[in-house]
Amino acid sequence: MTRGGGLLVAGTTSDAGKSLVTVGICRWLTRQGIRVAPFKAQNMSNNSMVCTDGSEIGRAQWVQAMAARVEPEAAMNPVLLKPGSDRTSHVVLLGKPHGVLRAGEYATGRKALAETAFDALAELRARFDAVVCEGAGSPAEINLRTGDYVNMGLARHADLPVVVVADVDRGGSLAAMYGTLALLDPADQRHLTGFVINKFRGDVDVLRPGLDRITELTGRPVYGVLPWLDGVWIDSEDALAIGGWTESSVLQSECPDARSAGRSGGSRPLTVAVVRFPRVSNATDVDALACEPGVTVTLTADPGVVSAADLVVLPGSRATVSDLTWMRGRGLDTAVVARARAGLPVLGICGGYQMLAERIVDPVESGRTVPGLGLLPTEVTFGTDKKLDRPTGSWRGHDVAAYEIHHGVATRNDDAPPADVLHTERRDARSAGRYERFLDGWRAGSVWGTTWHGAFENDDFRRAWLVEIAETIGHSWRPAAAPGFTEQRETMLNRLADAVETHLDTTALLRLIEHGPPGGLPVLSTPR
């Protein structure tokens, strides 16, 4: 293959499966000996990852790079928008903080980012045989077409062929495919080359007449129908799409071997309640817990679920003070504090760890100073500089590799008066010397806090820590023989590549990647 080929994978909607299809194509191309890189011009997500060079990119592009077996880098996601509220997003440009984009500036302010994205794509195409680009949302969001550089704007600029993915499981996929094409202007339509159906369950022959009709109406092929792949949960961009992230959702291991191992003991599962913050960040931290046999993870905003769980996790947050206020409004703070008083385990990760402090001084995100939950002997101060790092360490002799993304810095604060709610308990804890360091954070009795994301992807550490949690509450849980987290992810990457190879017209896709959009594609007439 000639160097510099490209393809844009778009979708009829958000969460249609663009990321999964991109992952599958990247791994399939890699198997063919083609050196491929993933790319997303602009990603809006609070799920991110730190590359080895200290740059920050969207988590989905990091996984896609894993699928391509190449080192993740900032050029693969040159613009990352991290929503801090409904009207503002923090901009990460080529892996580094780059200010704030407000809602009123979205259509115009992003124009200044397009040049960086275009240059990054050109650089990747100069170094790789092929670049598989992922779109954002839907290319038919015509209210955002002016200044677009992620979907059709990117395709037009770089002369990329576009394949549109439709989620058939949602219903309405045939109309969505036709409507996506019909809403585009003629110049954009000439880049949309065909469609892929995703998440199909049942007999494809039942669907075939509809697909044939779509081809007749649009003059474009359906390149294939990908089946519903049970147990594939590749890291999502959208925090609200992780495990459903609805009001109360349950995650259990998606690995068949892990599921059977988890059932073999016959005892009740170890239950983990993860608080569903409105601005949850790096929620993928709980994936490794959910993949452990015999562990059930519930994503919840219900104080009753928090009270009843064996372990409660406060995950990361893009707006720590705001999400803490939200917790207090729902009574979740009372449930968490009551657990600590009773000696029941609580874990805070990054923003969740910051909430466990005695006080939070935040002139950066919220402009406020507020009391924390008072469960750890720390004070958190937010600074303008963001910490991006790939730390390593150990716990109880188990190696831990992780990553850090945060503005807040926690310092030990033994001299400050503890929060009133835990005055007696905290004084006793100090005198008993029950505080210890924990992965660049602190442990106080049954309360644990760390700034490190991704720590639980380390199998030996995760299992040893869960054993200690289980022993704390008198639970019988012990690790079962099952694949490790990295092995499970690798299995899923290969399953996606297998699906691409089996169910898609890979010959046609290779032709698109190497030669670009074919000429002569018909244009649908749209009333103006």
Residues recognised as catalytic: 350, 453
CA quadruple 68, 173, 44, 289: dihedral positive or negative? negative
Tokens of residue 446, six digits: 């049954």
Tell me the C-alpha distance between 246 and 322, whole Å.
19
For residues 152 and 162, the answer to whether their CB atoms sit within 8 Å is yes
User: Minimal CA–CA distance to 382: which of 451, 283, 437?
Assistant: 451
Tell me the C-alpha distance between 153 and 467, whole Å.
51
Tell me the C-alpha distance between 296 and 258, whole Å.
12
For residues 36 and 134, the answer to whether their CB atoms sit within 8 Å is no
Tokens of residue 478, six digits: 């012990």
User: Minimal CA–CA distance to 154: which of 109, 119, 193?
Assistant: 119
Residue 361 φ/ψ, nearest 5 degrees: -105, 110
b/e per residue, 371-400, with b = 16+ CB within 10 A? ebbbbbbbbbbbeeeeebebbebebeeeeb
Q: Looking at 372-488, which runs of residues are DSSP E strands? A: 378-389, 392-395, 398-401, 404-412, 435-438, 441-444, 447-450
